[in-house]
């Protein structure tokens, strides 16, 4: 073949391959750069989907003054934290939108698929991101939380938002701790002092030496009844301010009355001793 014909063909083939490489790179780039924490997706679990649908049905009842959004830490308010939930939130017409194991991407999907349809509370409290700790960077987790806050602002423009710092977990410091701390550092900047308020109460659960006490978090992840009480009591002034109502008085744990010792001829009867469980400092 004549050399003058080979050169144009070779140039054409090189140009075609180069263009194809650019296209492949552009197609792969979004996949490589995708932040899973900020892309809505459901869990592939029938139990999870059933719980999601149950929350949708509950949301349709309407009339909620306060909603709590999160994972099992929030959901457990209806179990371990039931006494505190009833004391601080029952008469504020609350809706608990917590599902165990959820990450930011799952909450995003739930918000897009019915959990807040027709819901217009005065206040939304958000606590989410802990379960992203083993899957995402602090920056990625923060982007997921930011997407949730933006979704709430778009869907419920008149609702105020109390964003809580992500709880740390594990008995002693781990490599995950700085990741969650970095996420909290970033999301704290979402606060505008009016529509979005940020509170980080990790100092209640993490001691100066970095350990988490079992009396407040028995599994070093989920608050105990005392932990829920401490949590609710600490944020109550802010909750009341955002709702425009009166702060609740601290919850008084019901006294456990111990039987009095039986009197003997040599020992006069003593009054019953009343033991009141105290919160850990």
| Domain architecture of the chain: domains with CATH | 37-243 (3.40.50.1110)
The rounded distance, in Å, linking the Cα atoms of 163 and 47 is 28
Question: Hey, CA dihedral for 69, 71, 75, 77, is it positive or negative?
Answer: negative
* pLDDT at residue number 193: 85
If one counts every other C-beta atom within 10 angstroms of the C-beta of residue 183, the result is 28
Q: pLDDT at position 252, please?
A: 81
Cβ atoms within 10 Å, residue 64: 21
- Residue indicated by tokens 């601290």: 250
User: Which residues are the active-site residues?
Assistant: 72, 219, 222
What letter does residue 170 receive in the DSSP assignment?
A: S
Task: Report pLDDT for 280.
Answer: 34
Per-residue model confidence (pLDDT) at position 169: 95
Q: For residues 195 and 119, what is the distance between their CA atoms, to the nearest angstrom?
A: 17
Please identify which residue in the block is written with the tokens 């349809």: 117
* Per-residue confidence (pLDDT) for residue 196, from 0 to 100: 98
Is 138:79 a contact under the CB 8 Å cutoff?
no
Rounded distance between C-alpha atoms, residue 150 and residue 126, angstroms: 12
Nearest to 68 by CA among 219, 280, 253, 231: 231
Helix H or strand E segment including 127: strand 123-127
The residues near 76 (Cβ < 8 Å, ≥ 6 apart) are: 98, 222, 223, 228
One digit per residue, the tens of pLDDT, for the chain of length 281 reads: 444 444 444 333 333 333 433 333 344 444 457 999 999 999 999 999 999 999 999 999 999 999 999 999 999 999 999 999 999 999 999 999 999 999 999 999 999 999 999 999 999 999 999 999 999 999 999 999 999 999 999 999 999 999 999 999 999 999 999 999 999 999 999 999 889 999 999 999 999 999 999 999 999 999 999 999 999 999 999 999 999 999 999 998 643 333 333 433 333 333 333 232 332 33
């Amino acid at each position: 073949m004549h050399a003058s014909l080979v050169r144009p063909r070779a140039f054409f083939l090189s140009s075609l391959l180069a263009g194809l490489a650019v296209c492949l790179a552009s197609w792969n780039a979004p996949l490589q750069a995708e932040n899973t924490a900020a892309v809505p997706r459901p869990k592939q679990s029938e139990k999870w989907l059933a719980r999601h649908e149950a929350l949708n049905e509950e949301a349709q009842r309407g009339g909620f003054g306060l909603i709590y959004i999160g994972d099992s830490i929030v959901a457990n308010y209806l179990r371990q934290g039931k006494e505190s939930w009833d004391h601080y939130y029952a008469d504020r017409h609350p809706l608990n939108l917590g599902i165990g194991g959820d990450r930011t991407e799952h909450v995003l999907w739930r918000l897009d698929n019915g959990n807040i349809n027709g819901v217009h509370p005065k206040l939304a409290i958000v606590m989410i991101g802990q379960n992203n700790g083993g899957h995402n960077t602090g920056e990625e987790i923060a982007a997921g939380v930011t997407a949730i806050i933006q979704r709430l602002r778009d869907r419920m423009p008149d609702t105020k938002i109390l964003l809580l710092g992500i709880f740390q977990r594990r008995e002693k410091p781990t490599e995950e701790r700085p990741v969650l701390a970095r996420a909290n550092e970033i999301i704290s900047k979402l606060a505008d002092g009016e529509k979005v308020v940020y509170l980080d109460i990790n100092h209640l659960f993490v001691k100066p030496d970095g350990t988490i006490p079992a009396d407040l978090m028995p599994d070093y992840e989920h608050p105990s009844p005392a932990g829920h009480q401490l949590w609710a009591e600490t944020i109550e002034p802010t909750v009341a301010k955002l709702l425009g109502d009166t702060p609740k008085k601290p919850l008084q744990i019901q006294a456990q009355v111990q039987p009095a010792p039986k009197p003997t001829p040599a020992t006069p009867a003593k009054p019953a001793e009343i033991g009141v469980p105290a919160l850990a400092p």
